[in-house]
Structure 1
Amino acid sequence: MTFTFGTDDDPAADIKTTEATETAEMCRAVERFARRELGFVPPSLDRDEFRRRWLLAGRQGLVGSVVPEAYGGSGLDAVSAAAVLEALGYGSPDTGFAFSVAAHLFAAVMPVVEFGTEEQKRRWLPALCSGERIAAHGITEPEAGSDTLALRTRAVREGDHYVLDGAKAFTTNAPVADVFVVQAATAPGGGYFGLTAFVVEADTPGLTVGPPYDKVGLRGSPTADVRLDGCVVPASHVLGAEGAGAAVFAGSMKWERTCLFAVYLGAMRRVLESTVAYVKEREQFGVPIGGFQAVSHRVVDMTLALESARLLLYKAARGLARGSEDEVAPALAKLAVSEAAVRIGLDAVQLRGALGVLTGGDAEALLRDALPSRIFSGTNEIQKNNIARALGLGGTRRPARRRRRAQNPPPTS
């Protein structure tokens, strides 16, 4: 199933294909499901409630949407998956839960799809697609966030198994996960080929999960630290091959930086619509505040930010669906969506005045949920570094001033 835009020159052209019609119907079904089953944010993280929601999302096809049908998924391409996740973000105010669904799918499940053996796929994917099991991806460490090649978690091979030791931080879904995709160094100091990805069952001796974080945003997404102390993992649980961990991670980030952020598109669209409705109704000085130029222009700027981000995201999704190796488009999409989400959250709060800072409103919720988006999946500063390097601006030559000084040394007495 594909979701094909009209032309490359006009990515926003009306879509009239049968596949697009099917995707649109699927998105409407997801919106109805999200409003009905996920229409509120639980006041606290309840494991049973989270599991109940997860199973329902599994029956809806959300937690395995891009997995091939042969393994229990829906077989969607990147564009259709992004459209479905946008519908999920639009239909539910619980952006944290939607974020958990996307993190499970793109950071943990897709690595099994793209790098797993046939035996691994058949062992883990069906239950991960049905909602019976939940996956988490462990890579971030206390001393290795943006510098992913500096992992301190070690994996030492002993016969037909590896022994893992180390700690992971900020691991999405860790408190509820049944399966972890864990990155560890098998050749410390080996750079790109020094990391290896493992599938580790949550009940493996030596794997422990800390208490859930209390976060400023994405509160519906359970997150915690993970420790690995003498954790014995069969060699058959390696994804790809020893030394392929960085490639596994890079592949998952292309999916995550594109499709995961579609959740925010839906959340922004929902808040923008409620903001327009509010400024049409709220009166000051005898007229609706939407009639004031300062207000109307702010709403226009919010619309511009959303639509610009949306075009960049779907451009990246279309490239991913076609098998493009371009790393710039996902980075640009991640930048545009995350910055737009924070800006729209701030503007929505401002336009509501005092009501905007009361907890429980959709504007303040968007702002809180948007703040982490500039950090996870590679900080926005890292994305700019990646884009600059792709543009040929990442050289390590000495500054021009120092070169000139070397060429024209000062006179000596």
Structure 2
Amino acid sequence: MDDDLRQTVRRFATRHVATLGEHPTAEAFREAFARASALGLTGLLIPEEYGGGGGGHRDNAIAAEELGAADAGFAAAVNLSATVPGLILAAGTEEQRRAWLPEIAHGLILAGAMNEPSVAGSELFHPSPGPESGFATRANRDADGWRLDGTKAQWVTNAGVADAYIVFARTAFDRPGVVSTGAFFVPAGTAGLTIGPRSQLLGLRGGWHGEVLLDGVGVPPDALIGPPDGALPLLAASTAGMAVGLAAVFVGVARAARDLTLTHVRTRNSWGRPLIEHQAVALPVADMEAEVRQARALVREAAAALDDGGDTAVLVPLAKQRAVEAAIANASRAVRLHGATGVTTGAGPEKLLRDAWTGYACDFTGDMLRLGVAAALR
């Protein structure tokens, strides 16, 4: 079954994702996303009773790696939309699940409007937070429900192409943000919700990113997912699969760098023989193989722990941190072993290196993940 899924997604990724390029139009992105949804990838983790595939995190890791090997930006976009529903499953009402999950499973594109220009994700792990910590975006109750005001940073994934946004906003400012933040389901097109120009990140350009502006955005009471002050603990508990899926995306990047390099060193000659027959080339190629296998093994272990109810406190951050390190290491080797071709725009290695380094800052930096591992080991 795993091999069938891998081959199905690989064929799709080769045909419809690798051909997108780094600057797909909104129409091209949406078309590829719709195809991914029709294949069942966006609803993979949603139970069958809500229109999904009823799969597990092992399945999502396989799909995410295959998409990541074709284009990490698009893969990260699909992974976010596929894993954020974990919050709705964990904390949403039955009415919310039945209203939103079938639409998400069948192609509704989600964005998670969380981080802000002046609030890094690492602040959420402040050891002794006060009322001044946390998001500045506020959610005020009114007669019709809630009013949202604030600004989310220009790297919100899927901003500009999303059909709905999960907006995180403070419901109180007399307590730390970690215990005074709510999550709200806001359809695109809601009055007061606007998106800034498409951001140009170092990598992941096959996806879409942008600033989210909220100016008196009115939403009904049932837009609130879970309690008005418990969104962040719920997010951490219910969407660990997002980090594991994203880790798998970067295993795909590490694998793509290895495969691209193998083709190059097997076919390009130096001193009358293929490059791979020179020890100076063969040794880093062997290291590339180890990087892929080690990172994949950790991601699989973390995905299995999520599926089987195991201890994930160490495995999840470790898998994400290790996969990104493998991607950076392999993409760096690919650039070096390709020589002048490696630094040529459009040749492949430099794109993989940009994608890999962008991954370092996605969903907590590598240093924050390492601190999370260390905290779990105390």
Gaps of 5+ in 2: 125-132
Equivalent-residue separation in structure 1 for 2:226 and 2:288 (angstroms): 43
Name the structure 2 match of 1:75.
54
**Which of 81, 85, 90 is the aligned partner of 1:104?**
81
1:181 aligns with 2:139: no
For residue 356 of structure 1, give the secondary structure of its aligned residue in structure 2: helix
Task: Give 1:8-407 correspondences, 5 Å limit.
Answer: 22-42=1-21, 44-90=23-69, 92=70, 94-106=71-83, 108-131=84-107, 133-145=108-120, 146-148=122-124, 150-169=134-153, 170-191=155-176, 192-251=178-237, 253-392=239-378
Q: Amino acid of the residue matched to residue 55 of structure 1? A: A
Q: Displacement, 1:325?
A: 5.0
Report SS of the residue matched to 2:197.
Answer: coil
Cα displacement string for residues 85-140 of structure 1 (whole angstroms, at most 9, x for unaligned residues): 222223x2x2211111012222x322122221111111111121111x21100111
**How many equivalent residue pairs?**
367
In the alignment, the residues of structure 2 paired with residue 306 and residue 42 of structure 1 have an alpha-carbon distance, to the nearest angstrom, of 24
Give the deviation of 1:43 after TM superposition. 5.2
Shift of 1:382: 1.0
- List per-residue Cα deviations over 1:3-42 (Å, max 9, x = no partner): xxxxxxxxxxxxxxxxxxx221121111111112223233
- C-alpha distance in structure 2 between counterparts of 1:339 and 1:68, whole Å: 33
Measured in 1, the distance between the counterparts of 2:376 and 2:28 equals 44
SS of the equivalent of 1:211 reads strand
Measure how far apart 1:257 and its partner are. Answer: 1.4
Cα distance change, pair 325–236 in 1 and its aligned pair in 2 (3 A): farther
Alpha-carbon contact 2:251-2:324 (below 8 Å) kept: no
Contact 1:68 1:74 in 2 (8 A): yes
SS at match of 2:152: strand
Q: Distance in 2 between matches of 1:381 and 1:296?
A: 31
SS of equivalent to 2:53? coil
Distance in 2, matches of 1:283 and 1:40, equals: 29
Deviation at 1:58, TM superposition (A): 0.9
- Tell me the distance in 2 between the aligned counterparts of 1:256 and 1:156: 29
Q: Structure 1 residues 361, 252: CA separation in 2 closer, same or farther (over 3 Å shift)? A: farther
Residues in 2 aligned to 1:72 and 1:260: alpha-carbon distance in whole angstroms: 23
How big is the shift at 1:160? 4.8
Moved more, 41-50 or 278-287: 41-50
SS at match of 1:67: coil
Structure 1 residue aligned with 2:128: none
* Distance in 2 (alpha carbons) for counterparts of 1:320 and 1:82: 11
Which has the greater radius of gyration?
A: 1
Q: Return the offset for 1:323.
A: 2.3
Q: Deviations over 1:248-301 (max 9, x none)?
A: 321355112112221222232233122122112211122222112121111111
Measured against aligned partners, the alpha-carbon deviations of 1:219-251 in whole angstroms (never above 9, x if no partner) come to 111100001111111121111111111123213
Contact 1:197 1:248 in 2 (8 A): no
Q: Which amino acid aligns with 1:68?
A: P
SS state at 2:23 partner: coil
Which residue identity does 1:156 align to in structure 2?
N
Contact persistence 1:209–1:226 (CA under 8 A) = yes
C-alpha distance in structure 2 between counterparts of 1:193 and 1:121, whole Å: 24
- What does residue 130 of structure 2 align with? none
Structural RMSD (CA): 1.5
1:116-172 CA-to-partner distances (Å, cap 9, x unmatched) read 1111111111121111x2110011101111213510011112245111111101110
- Does the 8 Å CA contact 2:109/2:162 hold for their aligned counterparts? yes
Question: One-letter code of the match for 1:188?
Answer: F
State the SS of the aligned residue for 1:147: helix
Please tell me whether the aligned partners of residues 254 and 328 of structure 2 are also in contact (alpha carbons under 8 angstroms): no
Q: 1: distance between equivalents of 2:3 and 2:67?
A: 13
Letter in 2 for 1:250: A
